[in-house]
Structures are given as C-alpha cells and as structure tokens.
Chains A and B, each alone.
Chain A
Amino acid sequence: MGLELLVASAIGILTAAGVYLTLRLRTFPVILGISLLTYAVNVFLFASGRLSVGAPPILTDATVYTDPLPQALVLTAIVISFGMTAVVVMIALGAYLGANDDSVDDPIATADDQVEDQA
C-alpha cells in the first residue's frame, strides 16, 4: 500500500502546485505550472495500468505482468508535452521581447495591471 500512497500523493502535490502556478498572471510561472501539470499527468497515466513491482512489462510465461500500454502512452505524452513546452516558450519570449510585458491576460486589461504592479 505504501507505493500507492506515495504515487497518489506525488500526483496530488504536483497537480496542486501546477494549478497554483497556472493561475498566476505572468507567462514564466504559468509555463512552469503547466510543466508540473504534465509531470503529474504522466505519473497518473503510468499508474492507470495499476502499480506492480518486479513484474515484466511483456507477456511471458509468468502469470503476473505489468501493463505495457500505459508506458507507451506516457512516452507519447512526454514527447508531445516536451515539444509543446518548447513552442510556448518561444512564442512567449517573442511576445515578451516585442511588447516588453509578459502578462498572460487580454491586452485591454494590461493598462490596469501595470498600474497595479507599479502601485
């Protein structure tokens, strides 16, 4: 049971931290938050095939085995989230360097935000 508790709380803590950071107004914390969320979901996907220790991930003569499919799903998800994070970092950098402002919300609201930030 210890393994389940460890994995479940890891997913929970990662998700909580990710959601908190995602709700910030600046691109950098938001991107970090989304990265944490993707880590959480990767572990979650991995756990969706049930946790078992010391079992082979392929079908052999052994009666106990680890479901290999979630591992393939996680690999796909990792590659995709890696690529997506790279894209969003580039676009966010472009937006920041162009406008000298890295707020995430709508441009119309930015005037008020800047006033608040300076205050």
Chain B
Amino acid sequence: MTHWIIAPVILPALLAPFIVLAARYHIGIQRVFSVAGVVGLIAIAAGLAWQAADGTVTVYQLGDWAAPFGIVVVGDRLSTMMVLLTSILALFVLLYAIGSGWDDRGRHFHALFQFQLMGILGAFLTGDLFNLFVFFEVLLIASYGLMIHSGGDVRLRAGVQYVLFNLIGSTLFLFALGALYAQTGTLNMADLAERVALIDPADTVGIRMAAALLLLVFAIKAALVPLHFWLPSSYAEAPAPVAALFAIMTKVGAYAIIRVYTMVFPPELDVTAGLHSTWLMPAALISLGIGMVGVLAAKKLDRLVAFSVIGSMGMVMVAISLFTPAGISAALYYIIHSTLAAAALFLIADLVRAGRDNLNLVAMPPVSGAALTSALFFVAAIAMTGLPPLSGFVGKLLILDAGLKSDAAVWVWAVILCSSLVSVVGFARAGSVLFWKAKSVEAEVGAVVAPAPSTLSYVAVGGLIALLVAHTVFAGPVYRYVEVTSASLFAPDPYISTVLETPGKLSEPTEDKEDH
C-alpha cells in the first residue's frame, strides 16, 4: 500500500506546529518553510492526480482497519483534481501574502495557513462522512484565526459573525450525521451508498430528513442563497490573501454536494427524489441572480468581489443541480475557473487598497501602479463575468449547453444570460470609477503617495491570471478530463468496491457487523 495519498494531510499537519515551535519569531524562516511545504504539496498532488488519471481509485486505510470499520482516505479523479487545484492556489496566495507583507501584520499566519490547507485537503480526500465533519472543523478553526489575522474592530466583528454562522452549520452537520447513522448504521460513504439503496421507499422519513439536512449543511459552505449571509462581510473584511484562499472553501461545499449526491443519494434514488430539481435548482438560480445584482449594487470593491463569488457559486450550483454527466463536467470546469478568478480579484482589490484610503467606489486620485493594476483588473473582470475570450465564457457555454436538455432550460438560460449582463455592467462601472475617473481627480497638495505594491505581489496575481489563460487555451484537454471524471461519478461501482473490498483488519464480515 502506498502512503502518498495521506501525505497532503500529514505534510501541513507537521509543518504547522514546526513553524509555531521552531520559527516563531523568524518571519523569514517561516516564509521559506511555508513556501517549500506548498511546493512539496503541489508535487505530491500532481503525482496523485497523475496516478488517478487512468481511473485508478487509491484507498488508504488508517491503522489498517478495513472499511467500513476504519476511516479510509480515497484518491480518485475528482478528489485528486481538487487537491491539485488547492495546492496551486495556495502557492500563489502565499506568494502574495509574502510580497504584500500581510503575513507579517499579525502572528502565526503561516502556521494557520498550513492548518487551513490540511483541513481543506483532508476534506477532499476523506471517504468517511464523520471524518469529513472533522476536517471541516479543522479548516474552520484555522480559518477563524486567519479571518481575524492582524485584527481591527471591523474585522473582529465580521469574524464573530463568521464563526457563529459556521458553529450553527457544524451543529446541523452533526444532526444530519446522527440521523444518517440512526437510519443506516454506517458513515462510510461507500458503505452508505450500498445501504441507502436498500431502504424501503415506503419508510423513508429519517433518511429524507438526513439527506435534506446534509444538503443544507453543504449549501451553507457553498454560500447558496438563502444561506449566504455569512459570506459578504467575512470575505470583504478578511485579509486579502485569506479571502483569496477562502475562494476554495466555498468549493469544498460544492465538492461535498457532488460527492455525496452522486454516490450516496444519486438522482435516480426514489428516497430523495425532488431534492435536486425542486429545491437545489431554484436556490442555485436565485443565488446566481442575487450575487450578480449584488455586484451591481455594491458600494465597495471588496463587497463587489464577495458578491461575484456568490454569483459564481450560484452558477456552479446551477450546473450541479442538473445532475447529468454533462452538467457535472461543466460544473467541474467552472469550479476551477471560478476559484482562480475569485482569488485573483480579491488580490487585485488589495492592490487597489494599497494606494487608497478605502475601497469605496468613488473617484479618488490614481493609485500608484494604476496602469498594471487596472490591466489585471480588466482581465480578471472579463474572466469573472464570463465574457470571451477567457475561461468564464467557455464555462458558461458548457453550462448553457448542459442546461439545454433540462426541463428548466428556459429558466437556466434566462437567469444565466441576464445575470451575466448585470455583472458586466457592475464590473464595468467599478473599473471605470476606480481607474478612469481617477484621472480627473487632482491629488491633494502634499498628500503622501503610497509606494507601488511589490513585484512579488504582481507576480502572484499575474500567475493566477496566467493560469486562467491556460485554463482557456487548454479548455479541450481539461474538459475531456472532467468529462471522464464526471462519467466515473455516475458509475461509482469501482469506487465502492475498491473501498469496501480492500482487505484490512476486520475485513471478514462476521455477526458483529452492525445490526441496524
């Protein structure tokens, strides 16, 4: 059994305490170890993704206990792809944090960053629902620390909201897990898939409640309207690199929905019929609409970006809620795009803030480095709003195409196209006020001009933009990859049999198997 699959969890878990204990007062050493760790993660993640690319499902049994008795870590195409995306995003976010000096404006940034990565990567890799809860808590408790990094009253207050909302989400998650366990007697996802299918369609109250509660929990993570209220304040007030890293956190919710509702509660299951089409689809469409209207209504740049995240999550959820292979592959393509674009926009908002008192969308004297910053904003805004030629446009086309065969095709097309128009207007207004109108405002005499952001900051943002361009240029290969991934999600038998049939301790089922 190869141990590499657990490395994305172990590496940050060891690195973070090392940074706290050994390099506590040396920001330089912290930076070196943190960057080296993330580069190592990218290498490991690339190896895992390459290993999984031919459809191999890798199972790692912790303590060699066979599933469903022990906890398993599973690497298939979907989870390794998300791990690779997270590691690459983390590298650029980290470079920006170092380049802009954000990591030195409070203590323990790098340690918390590593713990955050551990939680996110663990959530992608685990094959057990209770373990997913534990990794959610790991990523949340690290994110609480990162969210209030470098302090300030406004940020602390937004942090309180963020923590309270997520505590309620965690409690709901536990209720869902309790209900699920009471109905099936297992929390291993592969085992659940087999047992849920055996439940009598006439006696489904408990399992229906569990499925709906679980969907609520993941929808909170994915910031789906009406459960999105935590997002705008927290993302807008969080330090920019942290907000950029949080761009992947909403995708953890989307990933969990894809995983659980293709394998455990597949769309053709009678027990949970209607959950996707009756509830998820309208909520996703409303999210998309509200997010893009929020972009137009925002009075500050950071809030504008936060609402664009809600909108793009709405777009992802529309594609997911179709629950067809084409819909899921479009969603996966769009998830990669939306993560990179949202992260780039949060970092660009910080580049703007470096030269201004605030991020209010009013004309103020040009910020230093305005030419380059505005060019980056222009490209990132094109990507986020889904205008050609960047990957947002490709992703949107894929989602529209997948939606064409749906019963709700009219709604899908109407909402996506209208909300796109609204968001284009919103971003165009923000960009023209921030960068063009600025030329008409004279700087006050004697005003101190802030120094331009460092080169490393621009390298980090430029790297994300370059990835977006690559995501567009290589749209064909990427789409073929996610297409096969999505097909494997709808035929989960290799996953289930690999998880349940890999031998380990207790692998011989005897009379001691749960009797529920």
Contacts and interface: CB of A to CB of B under 8 A. Distances in A.
Same complex for A and B? Answer yes
Interface of A: 22, 27, 30-31, 34, 37-38, 41-42, 44-45, 47-50, 59, 67, 69-70, 73, 76-77, 80-81, 83-85, 87-88, 91-92, 94-95, 98-99, 104-107
Contacts of B185: 67
B interface residue count range (under 10 / 10 to 19 / 20 to 34 / 35 or more): 35 or more
Nearest to B186: A69
B514 A104 contact: no
Contacts of B167: 34, 81, 84-85, 88
Nearest to A38: B171
A107 B175 CA distance: 31
Contacts of B514: 67, 69
B181 A34 contact: no
B258 to A, nearest CB: 25
B134 A37 contact: no
Contacts of B233: 106-107
B512 A104 contact: no
Interface stretch (B74-82, B151-159, B363-371, B412-420): B151-159
A70 B157 contact: no
A69 B178 CA distance: 11
Contacts of B516: 50
A99 B178 contact: no
B153 A95 contact: yes
Contacts of B141: 83-84, 87
B297 interface: no
Interface of B: 130, 134, 137, 140-141, 144, 148, 151-154, 156-161, 163-164, 167-168, 170-171, 174-175, 177-179, 181-182, 185, 233, 512, 514, 516
Contacts of A37: 168, 171
B163 A76 contact: no
Given A49-B181, A80-B137, A104 B175 contact: no
Contact of A95 (B137, B140, B144, B159): B159
Contacts of A107: 154, 157-158, 233
A95 B175 CA distance: 30
Where chain A touches its partner, the secondary structure class is helix
A104 B161 contact: yes
Given A84-B141, A91-B144, A34 B160 contact: no
A105 to B, nearest CB: 8
B171 to A, nearest CB: 5
A70 to B, nearest CB: 7
Contacts of A85: 167
Nearest to B176: A41
15 contacts: A34-B164, A34-B168, A37-B171, A41-B171, A44-B175, A45-B178, A45-B181, A48-B178, A48-B179, A77-B174, A87-B141, A87-B163, A88-B164, A98-B152, A98-B156
Nearest to B161: A104
B156 A104 contact: no
A34 B233 CA distance: 21
Given A38-B171, A48-B178, A73-B181, A59 B160 contact: no
